[in-house]
Amino acid sequence: MILVTGHYDSRNSTNADTHAEAPGANDDASGVAVSLECARALTKLKLPATLIFVAVAGEEQGLYGSKHLADRAKQEGWHLEAVLNNDIVGGNRSPGDKFQDPHAVRVFSESVPASAPPEEIRRILQLGYESDSPSRELSRAIADVARTYTGRPAPSALDPVLEFRRDRFLRGGDDSSFNQDGFAAVRFTEWREDFNHQHQNVRVEEDIQYGDLLKFVDFDYVARVARLNAATMAVLADAPPAPVNVQYPPPPQVFTNALNNAAIEWDQGPGAPAGTHFEIVWRPLAAPDWQRSIPAERLGAVTDGKFASTAEGHFSVQIPVSKDNVVFGVRAIDAHGHRSPAVVPWPAPRPARPE
């Protein structure tokens, strides 16, 4: 299941004056428009995953709508692979603003998962995986989709800028409700916000127009954001499920030069269609996005003409690159190039020694 959302409530300067205008054109009718447009475009397609198009209430009062929905998804056991939250994606057409970029959108993602217990956090930090949460891998998948479908130099191009922070400084949004319940969720937000047009009573002071009015929305920009959201949903819906049980097998009892290489094992995701392939990606430890990729079949895991290992649906590869120097990931891919988000390998537990 893949979900896109925006919030349909708005607020003015006080958030308590229920009679003053609160148009909310950018914050967040723009995000609701993205959700509606994704529904219009994608419901024409027959896809193997379930797509959910949502507008939630109560964001400005305390994320009430998204919290209710996220809790329901958790209680009902939804297999929710990705949540795309669009909040303030109107582009901002304030006169005289020379710093807005109409071809860039920020994609915020959490580092250490908000739902991780203390022992998991310690393990994440020990392995250097603080930039490899499921939400962060989702943001990298969005960047990959953009390079394929919405990248420059086309006039409709939109570059997702990966922001390695849960949200804007000291602020938050509906994606955090899903993060708190353990789901991969990211936030799309325009490149440069104008706070004269957010959370303001509609008024003119010293020739400055305040208020979140429709005339400050860049409709072409909202359309670009909608295209990126729709393309991401379609790719993730068509892609095979991400691999599971991705791990480094236990090291040999006698340390050898093999430790300078990397052995990775994984199982195909539940319900993976026939013809699912896998791709190994990696990046240097200080790099923000995947820099190298190679089909897993090229790494010596082919037996009797079939890409298989010790059991049906179980795979393994050997890579002559030290895992001390890079972060690896494994992602599923179909014949048309639709890729799942990458999954990083965790060290497998050492087998118990015989008594």
Q: What is the pLDDT of residues 148-182, one digit of tens each?
A: 987 666 777 899 999 999 999 999 999 999 999 99
pLDDT band at 306 (very low <50, low <70, confident <90, very high): very low
95: buried, middle or exposed (CB in 10 Å: 19+, 13-18, 0-12)?
A: exposed
pLDDT at 96 (0 to 100):
84
Q: Which of 186, 66, 79 is nearest to 136 (CA)?
A: 186
Q: How many CA atoms lie within 13 A of 312 on its CB side?
A: 3
pLDDT band at 303 (very low <50, low <70, confident <90, very high): very low
Q: Cα separation of 88 and 107, whole Å? A: 12
For the chain, domains (ranges, CATH) are: 2-238 (3.40.630.10), 244-347 (2.60.40)
Task: For 186-198, give one letter per residue: b (16+ CB within 10 A) or e.
Answer: bbbbbbebbeebb
Q: Residue 256 pLDDT > 90, yes or no?
A: no
Which are the contacts of 158, defined by CB distance < 8 A and separation ≥ 6?
A: 103, 104, 105, 146, 150, 224, 225, 227, 228
Q: Is the pTM of this model over 0.85?
A: yes
Q: Residue 304 pLDDT > 60, yes or no?
A: no
